[in-house]
């Protein structure tokens, strides 16, 4: 009997070898297509049952060309690259990685917040240009007198809140989907308008959805306190870049830290690359030696769990026909012993 086929796409900075080995040991034929090009993906995965994707778009047009695919496993906590409604309609599982880099992204958000608070980019620029402390016009605020506001209160934001609690004087959070008891003690739950108006640092931790795209716009920035700071380690399209640049140019916002961008990478002449009050990182908040292993191994483990038991470890789409966890007989018969 022919081995089932799994295709791994656009691994980019990840080494696919451990995931390839894990799937091969589990009985799969594995193909790697380090591309987001739907033509190349469709050619490689025409007979695949499993697709492991990074940022490659998996939409109805691609799925039309992959009739055998029964599971799409993402190499990220986010899964907005997959048309989940279309996957559910076709009876396809979709999985994500909710735990792979929780600590890493939370630490990055904390480091970004502290760097902005202490005006480290500006201090660095003064020294590099030959100046010293008398040339440093920035006067940082004391962190213990500042309010940190978290928009979204999922795993990463809750970990961030726990790490930040000894540093910042007050931590607030808004998340209509999280229960009041979720997260560490001492975090005040506020409405979005209240949180925006009271936060000295606004940190975004919400997925990209039709309701959240562009939420950080001119109106939101205008409601923030003068001298406020913005941190975004979530999704680039949450922020209106023109509105952010205007708020920085006017001085209403004192600074922002961006790990994600509306277009990645941003164009060489994009003002987001050069604004002096922006602290930037190349979508690397997740990046540690530990997370790099998890991002390739955990999707492979999701595929193997689905193939051998009928249910992956961390599904975000559960096909109605398999909601009880049962596996189609055709798969059970072909599963490795």
Q: Residue 95's closest CA among 278, 274, 273, 313?
A: 313
CA distance 14 to 17: 9
What does the pLDDT look like over 160-174, one tens digit per residue?
A: 999 999 999 999 999
Same fold: 5-100+289-334 with 102-280: yes
**Domain extents in the chain:** 5-100+289-334, 102-280
Q: Which fold has domain 5-100+289-334?
A: Rossmann fold (3.40.50)
Catalytic residue among 79, 108, 283, 313: 283
- The predicted structure's pLDDT at residue 145: 98
Mean pLDDT of 259-277: 96
Those residues whose C-beta lies under 8 Å from the C-beta of residue 266, and which sit 6 or more positions away, are: 272, 273
pLDDT (tens digit per residue) in 125-149: 999 999 999 999 889 999 999 999 9
Count of H helices and E strands in the chain? 12, 13
pLDDT digits (tens, 9 = 90+) for 201-257: 999 999 888 999 999 999 999 999 999 999 999 999 999 999 999 999 999 999 999
102-280: which CATH topology? Answer: Rossmann fold (3.40.50)
Q: How confident is the model at residue 1 (pLDDT cuts 50, 70, 90)?
A: low
Active site residue 235: yes
Over residues 48-59, the mean pLDDT reads: 96
Range 94-112 average pLDDT: 95
Helices (H), 26-154: 38-44, 60-64, 84-89, 102-117, 120-128
Q: Which of 12, 13, 145, 264 is catalytic?
A: 264
Residue 25 has pLDDT above 50, yes or no: yes
What rounded mean pLDDT belongs to the chain? 92
Q: Please report the pLDDT score of residue 321 as a whole number.
A: 54
Average pLDDT over residues 89-107: 95
User: String of b and e for 143-179 (b: at least 16 CB within 10 Å)?
Assistant: beebbbbbbbbbbbbbbbbbbbeeebebbbbbbeebe
Choice among 158, 235, 301, 313 that is catalytic: 235
* More confident position, 333 or 81: 81
């Amino acid at each position: 009997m022919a081995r089932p086929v799994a295709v791994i796409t656009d691994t980019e900075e990840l080494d696919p070898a451990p995931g390839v080995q894990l799937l091969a040991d589990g009985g799969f034929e594995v193909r790697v297509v380090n591309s987001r090009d739907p033509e190349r993906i469709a050619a490689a995965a025409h007979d695949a049952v499993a697709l492991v994707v990074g940022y490659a778009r998996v939409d109805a047009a691609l799925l039309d060309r992959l009739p055998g695919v029964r599971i799409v496993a993402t190499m990220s906590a986010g899964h907005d690259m997959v048309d989940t409604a279309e996957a559910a309609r076709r009876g396809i599982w979709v999985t994500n990685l909710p735990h792979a880099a929780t600590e890493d992204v939370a630490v990055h958000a904390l480091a970004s917040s502290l760097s902005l608070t202490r005006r480290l980019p500006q201090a660095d620029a003064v020294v590099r240009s030959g100046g010293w402390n008398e040339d440093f016009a920035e006067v940082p605020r004391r962190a213990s007198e500042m309010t940190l506001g978290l928009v979204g209160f999922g795993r990463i934001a809750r970990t961030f809140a726990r790490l930040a609690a000894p540093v910042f004087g007050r931590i607030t959070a808004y998340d209509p989907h999280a229960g009041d008891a979720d997260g560490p003690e001492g975090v005040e739950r506020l409405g979005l308008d209240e949180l925006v108006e009271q936060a000295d640092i606004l940190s975004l931790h919400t997925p990209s959805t039709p309701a959240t795209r562009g939420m950080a716009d001119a109106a939101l920035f205008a409601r923030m306190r003068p001298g406020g700071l913005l941190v975004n380690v979530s999704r680039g399209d949450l922020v209106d870049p023109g509105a952010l640049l205007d708020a920085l140019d006017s001085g209403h916002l004192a600074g922002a830290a961006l790990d994600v961008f509306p277009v990645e990478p941003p164009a060489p002449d994009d003002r987001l690359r050069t604004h002096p009050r922006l602290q930037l990182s190349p979508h690397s908040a997740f990046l540690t030696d530990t997370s790099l292993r998890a991002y390739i191994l955990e999707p492979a483990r999701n595929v193997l769990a689905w193939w051998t038991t009928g249910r992956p470890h961390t599904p975000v789409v559960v096909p109605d026909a398999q909601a009880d966890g049962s596996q189609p007989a055709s798969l059970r018969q072909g599963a490795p012993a």
